[in-house]
Amino acid sequence: MSRKADRQTAALHAEIIEALPRVRRFARGLAGNVADADDLLQATVERTLSRARPANLDVARWMFRVCRNLWIDEIRARNVRRDAAPRVAAEDEQIIGDDAAVLGTLGAEEVMSDLSELPDEQRAVLVLVAVEGFAYREAAEVLEIPIGTVMSRLSRARATLSERLRGSD
Amino acid sequence: MTERERPRNDDEWLSALIDGELAPDDEAKLRARLDREPELAARLERMRSADGALRAALDAGRDDPMPAGVMALLQSDDKVVSLQRPDPRRFFDLPLAMAASAALAVGFVLAQLWPLQTGPGGGAERLLGASLIEEGTSLHAAVSTLPSGESARVDGAALTPRLTFRDAAGVPCRVVDLAGDELLTEVVVCRDGSDWRVRMAGYGPPRDAVAGDFQPAFGDRSAVDRALDALIADAPLGRDEERALLERDWVSE
C-alpha cells in the first residue's frame, strides 16, 4: 500500500474510533441489548470500512446511517427467521435480561425495555436527537427522511416513552 | 423553520421546544401557553424527564470496553491505535470505553507497567495520564538511556528501543519494543518536557527473535513502522546523533 493510502486508511480508522462510542450508544438504543448492539456495531464498522461514503456525510454521520440501515435489515432478517422457527426466535427476542448488569441499574433496564417497545424508526430518531443531540436537519439527513417526519416520529416517541415511564413510577 | 416544518400538534411543539428548534417568536408564544396551561407544562416536564432517563440508561454502558471484534477490524491492517487526541479541547469527551479499548490494544505488558484506571472513579484523564512515562520510573530510565538495539528488563518485560527519530515539530521520539511472554508491544514515545508520551502503540505475538537481529515483529513491515510514515519527519537518527541525544538527556541543541 502506498504511503498516501496508508495515511488515508489511518485517518479513516481514527475517525471511526472517535465516533465508536456514540455509534455504540446508538446501536444499543436500537438493539436494546448489549450482544445485538455489539454485533450491529461490528457490522457497521465493517461496512464503513468497505463501502464508499456519500460526499455529503462525515464519517460519524455515515456510521449512524449505516448502523440504522443495518438494524432495519437485521430486523427484517430476524422476522423471517422468527416466522420460520418460532422456538429459535424466543432466544433472539431477549431484551436486556442478562445484560442488565452491564447496562446499569434497574431504572436503566426499565427505560431500555420501554424504549425497545417503540417502533424502530421512532427509536432511531429519538436516540439521534434526544441522546446524540442531532439537530432535526441533521437527523433528517442521516436517516434520509423529511424534517417533518423527524418531528412527528420524535414527538410520538417522546410522548409514548414519557407515558410508559410515568406508568412505571 | 419553514411553514411546512412547523409543528403540527402539541407534542411536536413541546418536542421542538426541548430541542431548541423553535423560532424565537414561536418559542415565546409557546412559553406563554405553558404559563397558562399547567397540564401542558406537566407534559413538557414528563418528556424532558423521559429524555434524561433515556440518556442515563444509554450512558450506563459507556465505560464498557469496545468489543474486541470491532477493535480488531480497526487494527487488523495496522494493529495500531493512536493515543494522541487530535483536539485537546475535546479531551473530556473522550469516552473511557474507547480509551480502555486502546489500552487493551496496548497490551498486557504496558498494562502491567502502567497503572491504567478503567473502573468507576478512574477517568479518561487518568488513563491518558497513564500514557505518560514519567521521569523517575524504571520505564522512563530504560527508554531514556538505552541505545537502540540494546535491551533491559523492566518489570518483567524486555524493553528494547528500536530506533530514534524526530517528528515534524523536531521533537525526539523513539520506537520501543516491550516483549512479554505472550505479547510483543511496540510503542512510539515522544519527549514531553522531561517525560515521554506514548503517541502510538501496536501489538502482536512475540517474534522469534534472534538476539540482536531486528526482525520485523509483524511481517515484512510492522504496523507501527507503517504508521510512522505519518509521524516521522525525516530518516531515523543515526547512531552518533542518537548517542548525542542520550548524553544530553534528550535536550536538543
A60 close to B (CB below 8 A): no
Total tally of structural domains belonging to chain A: 1
Q: Which has more pLDDT, A167 or B54?
A: B54
Residues of A within 8 A of B11 (CB-CB) are 155-156, 158-159
Count Cβ atoms within 10 A of the Cβ of residue B215 and give its class: 0-12 exposed, 13-18 middle, 19 or more buried: exposed
State how far the Cα of B129 lies from the Cα of B82, in Å rounded to an integer: 15
- Mean of pLDDT values over A107-135: 91
Statement: residue A149 has pLDDT above 70: yes
Domain with A60 in it: 3-167
- Would you state the pLDDT for residue A92? 35
Q: Report residue B66's pLDDT band, with 50, 70 and 90 as the boundaries.
A: confident
- Contacts of residue B2, defined as CB under 8 A and 6 or more positions apart, other chains included, come to none
- Mean of pLDDT values over B37-50: 93
B134-185 residue pLDDT tens: 788 788 889 999 999 888 887 667 788 988 988 888 899 998 887 765 556 6
State how far the Cα of B253 lies from the Cα of A44, in Å rounded to an integer: 49
For residue A137, give the CATH number of its domain: 1.20.140.160
A17 close to B (CB below 8 A): yes
CB A115 within 8 A of CB A107: no
CB A105 within 8 A of CB A111: no
Angle, helix B68-75 to helix B96-106, in steps of 10 degrees? 60
Residues of B within 8 A of A136 (CB-CB) are 5, 16, 19, 21
- Would you state the pLDDT for residue B117? 33
State how far the Cα of A22 lies from the Cα of A19, in Å rounded to an integer: 6
**Cβ pair A135:B67 closer than 8 A:** no
State how far the Cα of B175 lies from the Cα of B107, in Å rounded to an integer: 16
Q: What are phi and psi of A10, to 5 degrees?
A: -60, -40
A152 close to B (CB below 8 A): yes
> For residue B46, what is the nearest residue in chain A, using CA coordinates?
A162
Statement: residue B20 has pLDDT above 90: yes
Q: Report residue A101's pLDDT band, with 50, 70 and 90 as the boundaries.
A: very low
B217-246 residue pLDDT tens: 333 445 566 667 667 777 788 888 899 999
Average pLDDT of every residue of chain A? 80
Number of H helices, E strands in chain B: 10, 7
A33-86 residue pLDDT tens: 888 888 899 999 999 999 888 888 899 999 999 999 998 877 656 655 555 543
DSSP per residue, B137-187: SHHHHHHHHPPTT--EEETTEEEEEEEEEEBTT--EEEEEEEE-SS-EEEE
Statement: residue B22 has pLDDT above 70: yes
Average pLDDT of every residue of chain B? 70
- Mean of pLDDT values over B105-133: 39
> For residue B6, what is the nearest residue in chain A, using CA coordinates?
A148
* Count of CB pairs separated by less than 8 Å, A with B: 152
- Mean of pLDDT values over B119-136: 48
Write the CA distances from B251 to A133, B142, B152, B198, B235, integer angstroms. Answer: 46, 17, 23, 18, 19
CB A131 within 8 A of CB A29: yes
DSSP secondary structure code for residue A166 in this structure: H
